Structure 1
Amino acid sequence: MTDPVTLRTSDVVLDPYDYDFHEDPYPYYKRLRDEAPLYHNEQLGFWALSRHQDVREGFRNSTSLSNRDGVSLDPVSRGPHASKTMSFLAMDDPAHLRLRTLVSKGFTPRRIRELEPRVTELAIKHLDAMLEKAGGETVDYVADFAGKLPMDVISELMGVPEPDRDQIRAMADGVMHREDGVTDVPQSAIEASLNLIIYYQQMVAERRKKPTEDLTSALLEAEIDGDRLTDDEVLGFMFLMVIAGNETTTKLLANAAFWGYKNPDQLAGVYQDLSKVPLWVEETLRYDTSSQILARTVAGELTLYDTTVPEGDVLLLLPGSAHRDERVFDEPDRYLIGRDIGSNLLSFGSGAHFCLGAHLARMEARVALAELFKRIRGYEVDEANSVRVHSSNVRGFAHLPMTLEVA
């Protein structure tokens, strides 16, 4: 990296807590890539990388960029305690490799494959309920479908009883919400996190006494050469699933619906051939990824763009920006279903910390969107009353009102 351009030549400001930034971060990202590829925000205390090559190399650099303090910019979430709620995502090797390997014994591709028929059942259940309300009336696609299915799938995996799932979903929503101008985790989110952990603690205690066929029991039984997960390690992974597995998939489903609506020419082919749904999912992951910003802690020597980033500083990786980098993608600001993305997708990270749940997220999105399109001929989004979620790292909709043309 020889380009010496840094913030010194630019007045661009990146504030991940700003509501205007949440509405449309992409013009900010373009200026960062062009004017300040290594950006420094002294006020909020972070650096940021926005170009595709830099973000990908950042994900793969686990030597100079550490996960030890977690991946969130929020100060309360950062620190040695981060692994309690972020599991191995907030660890470096060898601890990361040990925990990830043990978790993988329970969270297997086979378990995900075997879950697909049940995911289809859950999707149909929620779609049927939404379509019943849709007769000429507006439905909230997030509240009625996209916000329900992913959390139900995780609850199904873990073995949460059906009567408790609405309550668990409400807690998960509470963990993520941020008010305008708040640059840390609010008290309401801390309380929601504690309530969620207390619920899962009780579940783990029950499974210790009486194992079942669910993922929670599989995690408790996972063993390699006598090494097993502790209760706290199982809880950390369960919490990670709620945050990383639930919220990002909810946002993916809503982002796909929104951008499909905004680009009807692109969606026409999907209506005619549902085998194109995975291409719709992939382009949504590129064009407007749920997971926009991930933090790392600088460990040791790190020099980028002729600038030494001090040890201990926070550096943000911006996959949301990387996916719009014209150095990698032709016409990156066009939503083009079926484009060749190849290995350039960074929505699930890259390297040692590549998302363990990527196959689950893709399967859920494929099933959900295909089942939706089996039941409708068209839909219209009420853009004026759509509400974006406000988060320092996740992008998507809190509410997406729409009218459906039932098939």
Structure 2
Amino acid sequence: MTTAGTWEVLLDPYDYDFHEDPYPYYQRLRDEAPLYRNEELGFWALSRHSDVLAGFRNSTTLSNKFGVSLDPASRGPHASKTMSFLAMDDPSHLRLRTLVSKGFTPRRIRELEPRVTEIATQHLDVLMEKGTDGTVDYVGDFAGKLPMDVISELMGVPVPDRDQVRAWADGVMHREDGVTDVPAEAIEASLNLIVYYQEMVAERRKKPTDDLTTALLEAEIDGDRLTDDEVLGFMFLMVIAGNETTTKLLANAAFWGHRNPDQLSPLYDDLDRIPLWVEETLRYDTSSQILARTVAGELTLYDTTIPDGDVLLLLPGSAHRDERVFEDPDDYVIGREIGSKLMSFGSGAHFCLGAHLARMEARVALAEWFKRIRGYDVDEANSVRVHSSNVRGFAHLPISIQAR
């Protein structure tokens, strides 16, 4: 068998068994087919840490301009309309990212933290009250609400509109079992969201306020400014990339903390260890498992030439379990040395602009939760995983809580 040859174990990002536990599949890929080819679905895949890292950092031969998802409706020259600079190459990517960075600053994120704490506290009040009567849905009542509300706070969405905006955002991402492409309901939710944001942008043009939407409209470098469509594209990227992945991060942390109580118990008395919990969750079971690139020109790996235009998948979910890089990678060890080996937010030119926001949200949310509880249990039998070709996490995570 060659490294890129036909392989008896199929890597199918749409397969439900793969969604339940992709890690045995990844192990075999790393060992037996580090460059994998799926003829039926038309993609290549890289699974070893060194190859995935090199792939993220190769923004010339590996192009983003057709998007970063394998889903057919998300791929193509139109991808940047909803994925902003994530679906662009330089120089367009660099221009747009630099302008957006003028408004989406580390300082703005730092100043947002007190409001994130308030929003988290509001949702936790509801979670804890419901939890007195038995099990609650950690995703439905907390992890699925906080990230979108934080994005709405950042953008300046009025509080009375936030439930509706969150419902549309959920609709954009929702997939029924067996659906591998973007369904009509998701397209309708996307249109509703775009129309809402269009009206918001028009309103900010007339009446600026102190929010990210206004900051994006006012961002300027040597007379160059973002167009309304570019602002809308970034707002939509926040909904897709910033909302869902943070929801999954919070639920994955809760699930693996439950599975590893010896690792979790010290955190109840030492909240300063919460960021270490976040980092190990990002390594052990990252939200963003699979990201697509398109080969531009020719790329030769493992004595195999990948043709121009072919899709190559980068598998950070596999890279983080690579025993060539991490000791005992299948063990969940809060506080292990990870550092720059983490690729949950990518690497190189396309490193996630929202990484600091996601980490802050997760740290605040988990710390505020642990201030209120002395323990919790997950009802694994009734937990429901999402079925996605690139994101891993839970649609529902029923838990019972022991309050302090």
Which TM-score applies when normalising by structure 1?
Answer: 0.98
Q: CA deviation at 1:110?
A: 0.2
Classify the secondary structure of the residue corresponding to 2:330: coil
For residue 85 of structure 1, what is the amino acid of its counterpart? T
Q: 1:391 aligns with which of 376, 381, 388?
A: 388
Q: Between Structure 1 and Structure 2, how many residues are aligned?
A: 404
Partner in structure 2 of residue 27 of structure 1:
24
Q: Do structure 1's residue 122 and structure 2's residue 119 form an aligned pair?
A: yes
Distance of aligned partners of 1:149 and 1:344 in 2 relative to their CA distance in 1, 3 Å threshold: same
* Structural mapping, 1:191-202, within 5 Å: 191-202=188-199
The one-character-per-residue Cα deviations of 1:357-379 (angstroms, maximum 9, x if unpaired) are: 00000000000000000000000
Partner of 2:37: 40
Secondary structure in structure 2 of the residue aligned to 1:81: coil
CA positional deviation for 1:9? 6.1
Partners of 1:344 and 1:146 in 2: how far apart? 26
- Inter-partner Cα distance in structure 2 for 1:375 and 1:18: 38
Q: Unpaired segments of 5 or more residues in structure 1?
A: none
Counterpart for residue 268 of structure 1: 265
Question: Unmatched 5+ residue regions in structure 2?
Answer: none
Match of 2:58 among 52, 57, 61: 61
The 5 A counterparts of 1:43-192 are 43-192=40-189
| Residue among 286, 290, 294 paired with 1:293 | 290
Query: Structure 2: how far apart are the matches of 1:354 and 1:37?
Result: 23
Moved more, 364-373 or 183-192: 183-192
Deviation of the 1:267 alpha carbon: 0.1
Counterpart code for 2:18: F
Give the corresponding residue for 2:399: 402
Q: CA deviation at 1:175?
A: 1.3
Q: Quote the residue 2:367 is aligned against.
A: 370
**Could you tell me which residue of structure 2 aligns to residue 334 of structure 1?**
331
- Is the 8 Å Cα contact of residues 82 and 234 (structure 2) preserved in structure 1? yes
AA matched with 1:317: L
**Letter of the structure 2 residue corresponding to residue 132 of structure 1:** E
Q: Distance in 1 between matches of 2:92 and 2:202?
A: 24
Name the aligned partner's letter for residue 219 of structure 1.
L
Amino acid at match of 2:258: Y
Equivalent of residue 237 in structure 2, options 240, 246, 249 = 240
Q: Quick check: 2:56–2:347 contact (8 Å CA) kept in 1?
A: yes
Which residue, 10, 15, 29 being the options, matches 1:13? 10
- Contact residue 177 and residue 391 of structure 1 kept, 8 A: no
- Could you tell me how far 1:37 is from its partner in structure 2? 0.7
- TM norm structure 2: 0.99
CA displacement at 1:307 relative to structure 2: 0.5
Instruction: Give how far 1:80 is off.
Output: 0.8
Which residue of 2 is the match for residue 250 of structure 1?
247
- 1:287–1:323 CA contact under 8 A, matched in 2: yes
Matched, 1:380 2:377: yes
Amino acid at match of 2:99: L
Query: Does 1:277 find its partner at 2:303?
Result: no
After TM superposition, give the deviation of residue 5 of structure 1 in Å. Answer: 4.2
Q: Amino acid of the residue matched to residue 387 of structure 1? A: V
The answer to whether the 8 A contact 1:9-1:35 is kept is no
User: What residue number does 2:355 align with?
Assistant: 358
Identity among equivalent positions (%) equals: 84
Residue type at the aligned position of 2:30: R
Alignment correspondent of 1:226: 223
Q: State the SS of the aligned residue for 2:180.
A: coil
Give the drift of 1:351.
0.2
SS at match of 1:8: coil
- Once the two structures are TM-superposed, the CA of residue 385 in structure 1 deviates from its matched residue by 0.5
User: What is the CA RMSD across the aligned residues, in angstroms?
Assistant: 1.0
One-letter amino acid of the structure 2 residue matched with residue 271 of structure 1 = Y
